[in-house]
Structures are given as structure tokens and as C-alpha cells.
A and B are shown apart, each in its own frame.
Chain A
Amino acid sequence: MMRLTRLIKFETRIVVARVSEEIRKATIYLNPEFAKRCGIKEGDVVAVSRGNRGLRFRVKLLETAPEDGGIIPNSIFSNFLADFESFKSFRADIELSEGDESTEEDVIRIIMQRK
């Protein structure tokens, strides 16, 4: 059955921070209450977009994530979405998505296409 929240885009605060886990794939740590409000569950894949840039992230839940959003570990994924003025914290849109989370290769491919 299709989830209604799949049709809705939520504005969210993203904090870029270090996490102890070693992360090779795009992962976002959402605040459990925020995720519940957005109808997002652990293990879902969400599209996070900012301006004309976007990636897909696998969702994990974390109590220390900001109340109105989530944490993306400092990585090629967070830095692809960030800019210098908002290097540690920025606002982005989040919505449920199909498919797998983005990979490092996906980001490098996009960067190389700009050559």
C-alpha cells in the first residue's frame, strides 16, 4: 500500500557532524520524533535536496539528532550538499524515495561530469 507521506516534502535542518560509525554509504540520522511526524521509518530511503543538488540517504534514527531534522555524517555526501556559508548546518527538503541510497561513485560521477 502506498504511504501518503511519500507525496509530501518536508523542510528539515541538517547538521553535519562526525559519528563513530564508519560510513561508506549515504546515511542520514533522523531525530525519532521528527521522523515519526514525517512518516519516515528506520531503513527507509529518503531523497534530500538542496537547490539543484540532491542525493538519496538510508535512514537511521538517533536521539541526539536535531529536533527538527537530522545529522549527515561529515563525508562526501554531506559536503556535496553543503556550501561554505552553511558548512556545519543547513536547511534542505526531505521526502521518501524509491531505490537504494547514493554511493560515493554516484557523487564522483556527478562531479566528473562538470569537467
Chain B
Amino acid sequence: MICTGCSCLCDDVEIAEGKILNACERGYRHISKYMENRAKPAVEGKEVDLDRAIEAAIEMLKSAKNPAIYGLDTSTIEAQKTAVKIAKKLNCYIDDNSSFCLGEFVEAILRKELPSSTLEDVRDKAYVIVYWGTNPYHSLPRHLSRYSYYPRGAKRQRGYDEDRYLVVIDIRKTEIAKLAKKNAKFIKVENDLELVDSFMKALDGKAGKYDVAGILREMKKADFNVVFGGLGLKYGLRGNFKAFIELLRNINKFAPLYFIPSGFHANMRGFNETLFEAVNAVNSYSFSSASSSPEFAFTELLKREKIDTALIVGTDPIASLPYEASSKLPKIKKIVVDPRKTLTSRIAEVVIPSAFSGIESGGEMVRSDGVRIKLKPIASSEFDDVYVLKRILEGL
């Protein structure tokens, strides 16, 4: 099966004699506990049948003045496409977690501003491997063993301590920073923009705050190097993505360096690509304005009290958003579509249960590097995100 526990979408997980084989701790928990804490259809806190919950959602969306659709990062491409159709029909906002996660990086890749590659190419060819503001030890537990540092690749046959050069950049000494011993470097960064500046100066042969000239020398030795960037990098750049894009462009003038976003929900990139194909934007889109803007991010819409109803699919905003946004959720009507009971479903006006994509429901997802993966579910469900969203679309 394909594990949908994170954006690695590992394709070698097997179920044999009731045992889950090859999964990491995160994947194991995702698969083994899928039957626990399941959502039940409800309207205003009272349990109803599925049809009644869907009808209530349709009525709520029909009567909404300013609705938004939010989430969808654990849904399949098929469900995401249906949600985009609903947003178009309602002439409303649509957004996912990437607007405060790694959406800017994915957008830069899709617009060809950042050179990117696949995880298989990383495994086979990469020499310098940079983890910048990400700790896959917890977020993507098999990343290093399957795709980057540990495997012997087609052009990297001599093992990680000779044929890879690991760079870890973080504000603390994480578990993977501890690996940075031989043929490796750990940079404890206080200010990511100063580190970007240090790299730029080193390219000109000047010294900056951080000693990075050695890393550039190592990159020059190879024909394939990669940066995995996470949320620490995003927030460390303080909105100055152009400086980072410029840095990668300059390094690429003398050493090939690719960028792959690291650490998000199973199909966040799928949402970005689905919306990009539909409207040339990766998130924070308003069909009413026919444009994308940071003002149309779900968090901003909440903060500025611009919406009155939200269709929330496969995400838990009361738990995952900062207080300035989550505290506005009680003021709007919420329709939650989710396989599990979530904290948001506790305060939602309508709850519609769904199926776990990849476990009970098939379809397609997009891995963090842009590779499309067809899911191979191990169970079945009468209803999933596609079923629920299509019913809503038809009802509208």
C-alpha cells in the first residue's frame, strides 16, 4: 500500500498477517489507528444520518454570504478538483494549509523560479544534502533512509560517510544535526537572512557572519546537490523569499543545486498543483475576485472577519492555527468533513464523516517532490471525500 501518513507517500508499506511492515512510527500510527475516534454525521451537535448532514451542509452553503473552503491536504487530487468546482460554483474563497506552510516554495517551483528534482534523483546522485529548517527525524521519519543520506544510490555507491556531505541548518541541535560529524556540517542559525547573506558573500570570496565557504567548495565537487527546506526556513526568511531564490540562482551558476520542500501533509503539494492548473495560483484564491492574494488566506479571512461559513475538509484549524485566527472560528458556521472526530468538529454546526485517503479510499496524490502516486487502499468505505464533495456540488 501507499502510506499517506506524510508527504513521503512511501510505496513499500505492506500488510501481512495483520502486521504493518516497513512503516515508520508515524506511518504505523496512521495506519493502525485508522478505525479509532471516527466521526459520525451530526447537525448542531445531534447525530443524524449521512444524507441529512450533507443536506444541512448544502443549505448552509447556499445561504452563506461569504463562504470559504479550507483544508484538503489529506484528500486526493480527485476530491481537490471537486472542491475547486464547488468554490467556483459558490464564487467563494478556497485555501489550504500551504498558505502558512510551504506554499511559497511550491509556487516558486511550479513557476520555474526554483530548480527542483525528484527524491529518486536525490538518492541516486546527490552529494551535498542540506536540511534547512526541517527535522525529518520526526516529521518525515524515513526521508534520510529511503531517499537522501543513507541509501547507496546509482552514482553514490560508497556509503554516506564518504559519498554524501550532510549540512543541517537549524536554530537548535536536532536529532539529525547530531548526525553531522564526518563529511558534514551543522550550522546553528540565529538569523536565516544573515545566513543567506553569508552564502552570497562567500560566492564573492568574502567572509560573512557564518562560515559557509566550505559548503560551497563541496557543492562544486558534485553534479547534483539538494536543499530540503522546511517551515523553519520559511519563517526564518521573514517573507523575503526572493533573497533565497536569488541565492539558489547564484549557486547554480557554478554548482547544480536543487530545492525540494520538506515536511507537510500527504497531499499538500497536490492541492497546490490542482489549484495551479485550474487558476494559476497555489492557494489563497478568491473566485469572486478571480485572483490570489495573501488577504484571501483562510487565516487572514478569519482574522479580518471576512467570512461567515467555512467548509473545512480534513484539517483541524482550531488546533492548528494561531489563536488570533482560531479564536474567530466560533463566530462563523463550520461544516467539517473528516474521517475522525477533531477538536474543530466538536464546535462545528455540521459534521460529515469521510474515509481515510489511501487506507479506505483510492485516488491520486502528489509527493513532496511533485511525483504523482496512485493510492492502493487496503479497506473500503461507502463514502469518501469525493462522494461527499460531489453530493454537495450536485446539491448546490
Q: Which A residues form the contact surface with B (CB < 8 A)? A: 15, 17-20, 22, 53, 64-67, 74-76, 79-84, 87-89, 104, 108, 111-112, 114-115
Contacts and interface: CB of A to CB of B under 8 A. Distances in A.
Given A87-B235, A111-B330, A76 B343 contact: yes
A67 B323 CA distance: 26
Contact of A80 (B138, B171, B175, B323): B323
A66 B189 CA distance: 12
A79 B319 contact: yes
B343 A115 contact: no
A64 B318 CA distance: 28
Contacts, number: 78
CB-based closest 3 A-B pairs = A115-B330, A76-B319, A66-B172
Q: How would you classify the secondary structure of chain A's contact residues: helix, strand, loop or mixed?
A: loop
A115 B331 contact: yes
Interface string B315-340: 00011111111110111000000000
B175 A64 contact: yes
Contacts of A88: 231-232, 235
Given A82-B322, A111-B330, 14 more contacts: A20-B138, A20-B141, A22-B29, A53-B323, A64-B178, A66-B172, A67-B172, A76-B343, A84-B299, A84-B325, A88-B232, A88-B235, A104-B319, A108-B347
B85 interface: no
B346 interface: yes
9 contacts: A64-B175, A65-B172, A66-B172, A76-B318, A80-B326, A87-B100, A87-B235, A88-B231, A108-B343
Best-surrounded residue of B173, B177, B299, B331 (most CB of chain A within 10 A): B173
Given A64-B174, A64-B175, A66-B171, A111 B318 contact: yes
Contact of A111 (B25, B138, B139, B326): B326
A20 B135 contact: no
B193 to A, nearest CB: 14
A64 B231 CA distance: 18
Contacts of B318: 76, 108, 111
A17 B324 CA distance: 20
A18 B172 contact: no
B330 A18 contact: no
Nearest to B324: A83
Given A20-B25, A67-B172, A114-B327, A89 B139 contact: no
B374 interface: no
Given A84-B100, A104-B343, A114-B327, A18 B322 contact: no
